[in-house]
Structure 1
């Protein structure tokens, strides 16, 4: 059984995770200038936080560990959203 924290704590962790994902997406877009294949970038941006976050949530034994897993899991949509917004704005 996955120990769930209070709903407002879980929601807050996910909100902060999404915001950090947006910031990470902007920062890495500014810092990395070498051409990288888009499918590889999408796999990294969506895959790594999703797999890591799900593993932490599924293997958690404490409520705060579940909250950390949700935080990591919520980074993927924020980061991916920034990449999509940049691609749309650049006309690609």
Structure 2
């Protein structure tokens, strides 16, 4: 059984994770200048945080570990959203 933290704590972790994903997305676009294939970027941006988050949630034995997993899982949509918004603005 996955130990669930309190609802407010889980919601806070998801909100902060999305905000961190937004910041990571902006920072990565400012720091990385080399062209990278889009499929590799999507795999890294969505796959790595989502995989780590799901693995952390599934293997958690304590409530705080589930919260960390939810945080990691929420980083992916924020990061991906920034990259999509940047591509939409640039018209690519």
Shift of 1:54: 0.1
Aligned equivalent of 1:14: 14
SS at match of 1:19: helix
Equivalent residue runs for 1:17-32 within 5 Å: 17-32=17-32
- 1:23-67 Cα shifts (integer Å, max 9, x gaps): 000000000000000111001000000000000000000000000
Are 2:31 and 1:47 aligned?
no
1:33 maps to 2:33: yes
The runs of 5 or more residues in structure 2 that have no matched partner are none
TM-score, normalised via structure 2 length: 0.99
SS of 1:57's partner is: helix
In 2, Cα distance between the equivalents of 1:48 and 1:40?
11
The answer for the alignment partner of 1:59 in structure 2 is 59
1:77 aligns with 2:77: yes
**Number of residue pairs aligned between Structure 1 and Structure 2:** 92
